[in-house]
Structure 1
Amino acid sequence: MSDHGSTDVTWGIELTPEHPPDRMAELAALAEREGFDVAFSSSHYFNRDPFVTLSRMAEATDDLRLGPGVVNPYEAHPVKLAAQTATIDEVSDGRAVFGVGAGDRSTLSNLGIEHERPLRRVLETFNVARDLWAGETVTHEGTFTARDASLNLEPESAIPVYVGAQGPHMLRMSAKHGDGVLINAAHPDDLEWAAGQLEQGLEDRPEGYGPFEALAFASVSVADEEADAREAARPPVAFIVGGAADPVLARHDIDREAAAAVSDALEGGNLTEAFGHVTPEMIDAFCIAGTTETVAERFAAALEHVDGIVVGSPLGPDLEGAVTRASEALAMATAE
């Protein structure tokens, strides 16, 4: 899985298509050169399309595994997502992974989409996708409907499913049914708690299923200067706080009113105000931010609980520099 020396720890990176696809393709090529194994293109309606971006990333790379990270089965029909992911698998010669989750409540509410029965919806989505990828014609009646649906293309091998998860039920479901999990957390306390949930799910995992991989999908901001890294962390941390459940806020002693101020500003579309409400405590809890050395120490602490790390948005104030620094930090964290 990994080709960066002494470790089988998976190195992942999230490349957010807030820049043109050509730039994202260049960053993917850089990530591959720096030893990353897998790159996820995140999916938000206000950014470029993740699948268009992934196709450009596929052209620019040779071995990097690629997938949406994560798409949700509300904005697009699950059968459509299966077809789009199979297309990426085809153009990348079999390198696709399928990162799927329930989506951000705040962005779905912008589109007037109800966030109904997320656990069932995600599970049904990837079960149907697996059947479609296996060449089956599918009729499904559940949280969504598909009648006599089939795809006109078939992946050469099974596409691994990584479930984006944060809450206890989604974590346990991912371990029972998925190929991997993208744990939406950066702090060792959250990852340790999540590992306990995953263990429960793995106890119920059917025999004959393949290995399961737990990855921390962690907000990371790395730069030469600690202050620059922390400042760049404000936007992603605001979105994390806006979607954080009360038990998560309590685990880090985050003031409820401070969190509500962030959340209310986001829902009102006042992004600058929301970012301004982010406190140092929020950055510590929800982002791995700092110099290469600081970030390496935090990676090592996270890796006590997971099989790998996805270096998530914002990466840092300078994207190219951050890809290189994150690779250096991972190398330091995994050196034997």
Structure 2
Amino acid sequence: MTDATAPTWGIELTPEHPPERIASLAGLAEDEGFDVAFTSCHYFNRDPFVTLSRMAEATDELRLGPGVVNPYESHPVTLAGRVATIDEVSDGRAVFGVGAGDRSSLSNLGIERERPLRRVLETFDVARDLWDGETVSHDGTFTAEDASLNLEPTEIPIYVGAQGPHMLRMSAKHADGVLINASHPRDLEWSAEQIEQGLAERPDDHGEFESLAFASVSVAAEADAAREAARPPVAFIVGGAAEPVLERHDIDREAATAVSDALERGDLTEAFGHVTPAMIDAFCIAGTTETLADRFEAALEHVDGIVVGSPLGPDLEDAVERASEALALATDG
């Protein structure tokens, strides 16, 4: 896609498979017309930055970055250096997807997610200064003293992973873009309202801002297979969903509680079994290529582009191709 006015096509590649497999998927995504690939960042999967380096080798134009990495497991200065390294090995194609992280995953590591909005903002503010070649001292939600990077100065776009109103507004005011953790037009419309409030306070020198739906997607030739593959991510979304989100979609609270309780016990099979059709409809774009095209078209009324997120589908290579076809159907008109 070369049209600057066309919606951005993004994809999330989860390194639950070896880096070579993810690199191959990145090459396929580039061939299929995607603009940017984000690699999810969870301690229980492969290292995202090793994976991104392989993805850089396998691609020529695809923009690449963590999506999203949290600034708790690694020091923000260290993260800035890692992202700048990806920018170097990819010849300037890096993006920095940063967010507060998953509270439950962080708690597994004994990490408390303190002051998340402030932590994220300070992280990318410091990163920008480091990428400008500055020596940085910082005393806030984290501390750095006379820190600098032994890398050439660079500019890297910053995308904030956001779902709540305060993070959405902060991203619009300060970042280059936002990755909205939502799949349903109802949630995206509400998010767009929050973003508009942030944009009203955005300094003129911050440049353009891009809003992307970071949507859970599952696609296959058969709708039932796609929806079945959607159960695991939907369960985790429901387990972390705030009450207003559940209310917005009239989700059965008893079923939602059953999902959450099973996740807390570590009984994933039971949690996935409690996922209802209404939950899949609310929190994932799941079905055939044609279903995706319709849902993508509805989503694009509220955002500048779509990141096709996990699980993609029961067959990853097939899903990349089908998602590309669905995006083309949604945007060509």
Task: Output the TM-score relative to the length of structure 1.
Answer: 0.97
Distance in 2 between the 1:273 and 1:115 partners? 27
Does residue 1:231 correspond to 2:220, yes or no? Answer: no
Match of residue 288 from structure 1: 285
Asked whether the 8 Å contact 1:266–1:274 carries over to 2, the reply is: yes
Distance in 1 between the 2:111 and 2:282 partners? 29
Alpha-carbon shift at residue 207 of structure 1 (Å): 1.3
Asked whether the 8 Å contact 1:215–1:309 carries over to 2, the reply is: yes
Structure 1: 4+ residue segments shifted above 6 A: none
Q: Per the alignment, do residues 7 and 289 of structure 1 end up closer, same or farther by CA in structure 2, a change over 3 Å counting?
A: farther
- Secondary structure of 2:138's counterpart equals strand
Match of residue 66 from structure 2: 68
Gap runs ≥5 in structure 1 = none
Distance in 2 between the 1:172 and 1:311 partners? 23
Asked whether the 8 Å contact 1:7–1:334 carries over to 2, the reply is: no
Amino acid aligned to 1:172? R
Cα deviation code 1:197-220 (max 9, x no counterpart):
000000000111110000000000
2:80 to 58, 82, 93: 82
Does residue 1:116 correspond to 2:118, yes or no? Answer: no
Does residue 1:217 correspond to 2:206, yes or no? Answer: no
Alpha-carbon shift at residue 7 of structure 1 (Å): 5.7
Match of residue 17 from structure 1: 15
- Structure 1 stretch 52-61 or stretch 262-271: which is displaced more? 262-271
Amino acid aligned to 1:51? F
Does residue 1:206 correspond to 2:203, yes or no? Answer: yes
2:102 to 101, 104, 108: 104
Alpha-carbon shift at residue 257 of structure 1 (Å): 2.3
Match of residue 167 from structure 1: 164
Match of residue 176 from structure 2: 179
Distance in 2 between the 1:112 and 1:105 partners? 10
Alpha-carbon shift at residue 154 of structure 1 (Å): 2.7
Match of residue 31 from structure 1: 29
Alpha-carbon shift at residue 237 of structure 1 (Å): 0.6
Alpha-carbon shift at residue 273 of structure 1 (Å): 1.6
RMSD, aligned CA? 1.0
Cα deviation code 1:167-218 (max 9, x no counterpart):
0000000000000000000000000000000000000001111100000000
- Structure 1 stretch 110-119 or stretch 19-28: which is displaced more? 110-119
Aligned residues: 333
Task: Output the TM-score relative to the length of structure 2.
Answer: 0.98
Distance in 2 between the 1:239 and 1:128 partners? 31
Amino acid aligned to 1:80? T
Where does 1:296-315 land on structure 2 (aligned, <5 Å)?
296-315=293-312
Alpha-carbon shift at residue 105 of structure 1 (Å): 1.0
Asked whether the 8 Å contact 1:106–1:266 carries over to 2, the reply is: no
Distance in 2 between the 1:276 and 1:140 partners? 47
Alpha-carbon shift at residue 231 of structure 1 (Å): 0.2
Asked whether the 8 Å contact 1:6–1:335 carries over to 2, the reply is: no
Does residue 1:318 correspond to 2:315, yes or no? Answer: yes
Amino acid aligned to 2:39? S
Cα deviation code 1:272-312 (max 9, x no counterpart):
22111111111000000000000100000000000000000
Q: Per the alignment, do residues 6 and 168 of structure 1 end up closer, same or farther by CA in structure 2, a change over 3 Å counting?
A: closer
Does residue 1:256 correspond to 2:219, yes or no? Answer: no
Distance in 2 between the 1:154 and 1:198 partners? 33
